[in-house]
Amino acid sequence: MTFRAPIRDLAFALRTVGHPGLIARAFPDLDGDTVQAVLEAAGGFAEGELAPLNRRGDLEGARYENGKVFAAPGFADAYRHFVEQGWNSLSASPEHGGQGLTKALELAVFEMVHAANMAFGLCPMLTQAAIEALDLHGTERQKRLVLPKLVSGEWTGAMCLTEPQAGSDLAALTSMARPDGKGGWLLSGQKIFITWGDHDAADNICHLIIARTPDAPPGIKGISLFLANKFEVKDDGSLGARNSFRPASVEHKLGIHGSPTCVMVYEDAQAELVGELGQGLAHMFVMMNAARLQVGVQGVAIAERAFQQALAFSQERKQGRTTFEDAGGMIYGHPDVRRTLMLMKAKIEAARGICLTTGVASDLAKRAGTEEERAAAKARQDLLTPIAKAWSTDVGVEVASLGVQVHGGMGFIEETGAAQHYRDARIAPIYEGTNGIQAMDLIGRKLRANGGETLRGLCAEMALTAEVLTESAELAPVGRRLAAGIAALERAADAMVAADNITALAAATPFLKLAGDVVGGWILGRQALAAAGEPGAEGDPWLKSKAALARLYASQVLTQASGLADGLAEAGDDLAETPAHALAG
C-alpha cells in the first residue's frame, strides 16, 4: 500500500503544541512557510525514496558475509541521498554544521522517515543521539573532527550498551578499557543488539561504548563512556587504519529486518574517553534520552503507517450489509470498524502531540529567554520523555494490531503488508529501555524526586484547557471527562509519592498509562479547540473531525482514568505472596 506523508496532520500538530510565543522568540527566523516547506520536502523524500524500499527490506533484510555487514537492498543509496539533502542536520548547532532548527520540527520530519521505513530510520536516529552526547560531553578534538561528520551524516553513530549477560542491567557489564600509554584506551569485550553497528552505507561508523576501567569501582559508578571509530580519524580529519573491532553476526529478528542489528566484538580496539571517568552512565543517558524520544516517534510513525493501510482497506473491502451509506457498501460502513479506525486515529494524534510537546520542551530548555523558563522546560521535558517513549510505543503496537484486525484474515497473510507493521512495531516498547523501565523512571526519578511538583504544574495547565472545553457546547463532554481524568491523575500521583517502594514499582506501568491517557486527552482537546477556530472550519470535514476524535477518545479512554487511579494502591498487594510455582499449575 502506498504511504502518504501526513503533512497536514504534522503541520497542525506543530501549531497546536507547546508554547508558540516562547518558540517564536527562541527561533525568530522559523515561520509557518518554512515549516511547511521542510515538511513537504521531507514528505516527498519519504514517500518517493524510503517507502518503496520498506517491503523489500523486510523480505531480504541486511546480510552478513565474510565478516562484513551489508545494508538491505537500496538502503545505502537512499542513505546517501538522505545525507545529500540535509535531513541529518536539522536541529544540530550551526557551530558544527547543523541547521539550528527546532527539535520539534526534526521529530516531525523523522516521523515521516520512520513511517515510510522504520528499519532505515534507525540509522540516522542513533546518529542524532550520538550528536547530542558528543555536543555535551565530547572533547575539543571529538567536536572538531567527529561531530561535524556525524551532523552532516557522512559518518553514522552507534550506541553500544548491551552485553550477553547484561541487558538492561548495565551494572553487570564486563567490557574493559585499559590505558594504552599514549593518552588513549584499548577496549575489549562483546556487545549485542547493536543497531546499525556495521554497514556499507557510510565511510565511517562511530561507536559510543560504555565499559569499565581497570581500577574502577563495581556497579554503575565504575562505568565510563568511550568513542571507538571503525576507521582511525587522523588529526587532519582524514581516515586511517581499520580499528580492531568487528561484527560477528547479525541478529535474526521478529521485525525491522532491513536494520542490521549486530553482535560486535572489540579486541583491543583503539578508543577515546568521552567526558569524565566514572560518569559514563550519566553521559550515555544524554544519548539514551534523545533516542527514547525518537523511539516514541517511531511508535507514532508505525501506527500512522498501519492506520493508513487499514483505512484504505476498509474502503476497498466489501463484507455484509453496512449501516452507514456514505461508505458505499464497504466495511468502513460498519459501526465497529469505523469506531476502531477513529480510535486508532485519535490515539495516533494524541501520541504525536505528546512527542512533539516533549520536543518543544527540549527546544525551550536550551533556547528560552530566561533561566527560569529554561529550568521549567527542562523539568517538563524530563517528565514527558518516559511517557512519550512508553505510551507512544504501546500505541504503536496497539494500532498496528488493530490494523491487522481491520484487515481480518487478510491481515494475517504476509502479502498484504499489515503483519509487517505489527512485527516492526513490537520492538519499540523493548529497546532504549523497556516500557517497564520507563514507568519506573517516571515514578522514581520524575515524580517522587520533587514530590510531584512538575506533574502538578502540568495538571494545572491541563485543567485550564478542560475549563475552556466545557464552555463549548460540542466539546463540553470532553472538558468534563478531561477534568475528571486530571483529578484521577493528581490523586494517583499523590498516592504514588506517599507509597512504599513495592507499591510504587508495582503500580508504575498502570500509572504511566494513566498519565499518557490523560495527557493524550489534553492534546486532543487542544486540537479540537484550535480546529474550531480555524478559518472555514464549518465546511472542512478534516477540521470537524478533530472534535469527533476528541469526543470518542474522551468517552472510550478518559472514562477509564478513575478506575486506573483507584487500583494503583492495591497493585502490589498480592505480589509477595505469589511465587512462580503458584502460577505454574
Note the helical H segments in 408-475. Answer: 418-425, 435-441, 453-470
What was the pLDDT predicted at 170?
82
User: What are the pLDDT digits (tens) for 432-489?
Assistant: 999 999 999 999 999 998 899 999 999 999 999 999 999 999 999 999 999 999 999 9
Taking a C-beta distance cutoff of 8 angstroms, is the pair 226, 273 a contact? yes
Residue 26: pLDDT above 90?
A: no
Catalytic one of 49, 111, 432, 490: 432
CA distances from 446 to 438, 512, 554, 567, 570 (A): 10, 11, 26, 21, 22
Residue 130: pLDDT above 80?
A: yes
Taking a C-beta distance cutoff of 8 angstroms, is the pair 45, 85 a contact? yes
User: What are the pLDDT digits (tens) for 226-244?
Assistant: 999 999 999 999 999 999 9
What was the pLDDT predicted at 82?
98
Residue 340: pLDDT above 80?
A: yes
**CA–CA separation, 356 vs 289, rounded Å?**
15
Whole-number percent of the chain with pLDDT over 90? 91
What was the pLDDT predicted at 580?
94
What was the pLDDT predicted at 192?
97
What was the pLDDT predicted at 122?
98
DSSP H/E element including 561: helix 561-568
Residue 221: pLDDT above 80?
A: yes
Give 218: exposed, middle or buried? Use CB within 10 Å, 0-12, 13-18, 19+.
exposed
**CA–CA separation, 250 vs 252, rounded Å?**
7
Taking a C-beta distance cutoff of 8 angstroms, is the pair 557, 517 a contact? yes
Q: What is the residue whose three cell numbers read 558528543?
A: 134
What was the pLDDT predicted at 1?
62
What does residue 349 show for φ and ψ, rounded to 5 degrees?
Answer: -65, -35
> How, if at all, do strands 245-250 and 239-242 pair?
unpaired
Segment 365-386 mean pLDDT: 95
> How, if at all, do strands 231-233 and 261-274 pair?
unpaired
pLDDT confidence bin for 272, thresholds 50/70/90: very high
Residue 166: pLDDT above 90?
A: no
pTM: 0.97
Q: At what angle do helices 75-84 and 118-137 cross, to 10 degrees?
A: 50
Segment 105-111 mean pLDDT: 97
- Residue 89: name the closest of 142, 148, 46 by CA: 148
User: What are the pLDDT digits (tens) for 136-150?
Assistant: 999 999 999 999 999
User: What are the pLDDT digits (tens) for 379-400?
Assistant: 999 999 999 999 999 999 999 9
Segment 142-164 mean pLDDT: 97
432 part of the active site: yes
Q: State the maximum Cα–Cα separation within the chain, in Å, rounded to a whole number.
A: 79
pLDDT confidence bin for 167, thresholds 50/70/90: confident
Segment 29-56 mean pLDDT: 95
Range in 17-31, 277-291, 475-489 the model is least confident about: 17-31
What was the pLDDT predicted at 393?
98
What was the pLDDT predicted at 536?
87
CA distances from 457 to 268, 376, 440, 462 (A): 50, 10, 21, 9
Mean confidence (pLDDT) of the chain: 96
